[in-house]
Structure 1
Amino acid sequence: MRHLLSTGDLSRDEATLILDTAAELAQVGDRSVKKLPTLRGRTVVNLFYEDSTRTRTSFELAAKRLSADVINFSAKGSSVSKGESLKDTALTLQAMGADAVVIRHSASGAAHRLANWVDGSVLNAGDGTHEHPTQALLDAYTMRDRLGSLEGLRVAVVGDILHSRVARSNVLLLTTLGAHVTLVAPPTLLPVSVNTWPCEVSYDLDEVLPKSDVVMMLRVQAERMRDSFFPSVREYSRNYGLDGERLGRMPAEAIVMHPGPMVRGMEISAEVADSPRCTVTEQVANGVSLRMAVLYLLLGGS
């Protein structure tokens, strides 16, 4: 494995190896000195064309814990804002000898393009509405950690599927790992091609909740919307928001997930967001271990 561009590229064995490696590396986070010398002398570039707090910081922390050198390249204050193309930026990074480039870009397919232009490994940290593979991997890791196994697990992904790269990556990965996924959304927030995805679709959250082991709530991505996809925030919350009452309809052991950032009061109530059954902060912590595992496996740490 040289790049991580899509969860659809991972075999079951490869995905499991990443999760197992992350579990081993998570123990480093419990030590007083959280550093390993594994990637000393390697350079990881964070190339972010879109704003991101969690993902960028998480990749930076992961690389530093493995003793790699990290360069944060934000498009806003760089030559990109002067009109430099992705290809020219890539060639610049190539000339600097980057061993890995972590890219987030608003154009679907940007990570794949980049992989053709650099010799180092490319890690897709989100491309347009296409994929976000490390998010799906950390989600799977969190599910496995909380619930024991992914085989036969029933996962509902709820909300703005249309604009969600997290949803697509999760459907592909979780299916590979033996889970059953149901997407729950209003028809206007489902992609046209959803019938080709390996999952079920429902428009009725209340019907799906009692038979779900995991409910993953997605943020409505207003910044990617140019039209009105639902009548009002209140209407959306009433049909697709997770509140205490709906949480009560879920099986006792079931967990609530969210890739963040959460919009409290819209897709998730404060009561649910702060409940011990919500794994949001765990997902963030697990994200560091998971991204350490991916960097370690791609850059051939010993």
Structure 2
Amino acid sequence: MTTAIASKLKDRSLLGLKDLSRNEIESILDRAAYWESEPQKLVPVLQSRFAANMFFENSTRTRFSFEMAQKRLGAQVLNFAAAASSVEKGESIYDTVRTLESMGIDAGVIRLKPSGVLEQLAEKVNVPLVNAGDGNNEHPTQALLDLFTMRKTFGELKGLRVSIIGDVLHSRVARSNLWALQKFGAQVSFCAPSNMQAPELAEHAPYVTMEEALKADVVMMLRVQLERHAEGMLKSAEYYREQYGLTEERADRLSPGTIIMHPAPVNRNVEIDDAVVESEQSRIFPQMANGVPIRMAVMERAMKL
């Protein structure tokens, strides 16, 4: 791959937010605002372009959100689920991506379990790649829709106090939000059980108590994998709720201007009590809605000639 081609592809790919400039992030948020305000549901700016959604890890909301975004822009969409594919027979992720590239796709959206593989893939293929979540590394479009949600609520991100609560160790959402929010001058803090803390992130944002975490402008609850119980990381769902859940009682202590967020799917009555999910301060469903214009902006950036 020539340096010029590689550089252009890198500009159109979205592998993570850690190395993306504040200006670039802002331009995606602004373009998403444009698409959100577009009254027409279908604006075929990507007509005759082909996108492949390659999910090597289960996903429902993220995949549907990308597909909705792509179709609203008029793109042709190929959906690929690893469980029903040659990957089950041992075909490598690299070979799968190269196969679809050979067939003529214009961009690939990829979710996969191992961290670091996406960067290597991006070096080897000649189409822009969009990260739909890679291992415990990043989930850039989730963080972008989170920033978009915060910006719509508060007007700007600078000075916002954002608490990210839960299984930080395994969370790509926590990492992408941390990298992006700090570029805008937001104050990020984490709250997590000691065995769910990511020690390497402590130099970037402090770990605080639950009491302290509730004093923020944004309280972002992370999904806890209930299967961690089998690994011995989680005593029980009830114990987790008691110690780190956003119970009705804790939600009552939030400032009236505080908003509640969650990347979903929510384990109701574990991370967040049922009534709190549907409360006035909750932005959980608006977050999902905001995923479509964000992903429209990202796919347009990747594929528009």
Q: TM-score, normalised by structure 2?
A: 0.93
1:70-120 CA-partner distances (Å, limit 9, x unpaired):
100111111111110112112101101111100000111222122122211
Per-residue deviation at 1:2?
2.3
Distance apart, 1:296 and its partner CA: 1.1
Q: What is the rounded CA distance, in whole Å, between the counterparts of 1:149 and 1:100 in structure 2? A: 31
Q: Distance in 1 between matches of 2:101 and 2:167?
A: 36
Matched, 1:276 2:276: no
| 1:69-84 correspondence to structure 2 within 5 Å | 69-84=76-91
2:227 and 2:77 map into 1 onto residues whose CA distance is 29
Counting only pairs closer than 5 Å after superposition, residues 1-302 of structure 1 correspond to structure 2 as 1-28=11-38, 31=39, 33-196=40-203, 198-202=204-208, 204-210=209-215, 212-223=216-227, 227-300=231-304
| C-alpha spacing 1:65/1:220, structure 2 compared with 1 (3 Å) | same
> Does the 8 Å contact 1:102/1:124 carry over to 2?
yes
1:245 deviation in Å? 1.5
Distance 2:117 2:283 in 1: 30
Q: Matches of 1:102 and 1:8 in 2, distance apart?
A: 18
**3-state SS of paired residue (1:161):** coil
- Identical amino acids, percent of aligned pairs: 47
Per-residue CA shift, 1:246-289, capped at 9, x if unaligned?
Answer: 11221111100000010011110001001021111101110000
The answer as to whether partners of 1:104 and 1:126 remain within 8 angstroms in 2 is yes
Which amino acid counterpart does residue 37 of structure 2 have in structure 1? Q
| In structure 2, distance between residues paired with 1:157 and 1:290 | 21
Aligned in 2, Cα 1:214/1:172: closer, same or farther, shift over 3 Å?
same
Is the Cα contact below 8 Å between 2:229 and 2:236 reproduced in 1? no
In 2: Cα distance, 1:97 partner to 1:36 partner: 22
Report runs of 4+ in structure 1 exceeding 6 Å deviation: none
Whether the aligned pair in 2 keeps the contact of 1:90 and 1:117 (CA below 8 Å) is: no
The DSSP-based 3-state class of the residue aligned with 1:287 is helix
Unpaired runs of 5+ residues, structure 2, are 1-10
Q: Is the 8 A contact 1:138 1:287 kept in 2?
A: yes
RMSD of aligned C-alpha atoms? 1.3
Contact 2:248 2:273 in 1 (8 A): yes
- Whether the 8 Å contact between 1:256 and 1:279 is mirrored in structure 2 is yes
Closer, same or farther in 2 for the Cα pair 1:15/1:225, shift >3 Å?
Answer: farther
Gaps of 5+ in 1: none
TM-score, with structure 1 as normaliser: 0.94
CA deviation after TM superposition for structure 1 residue 34, in Å = 0.5
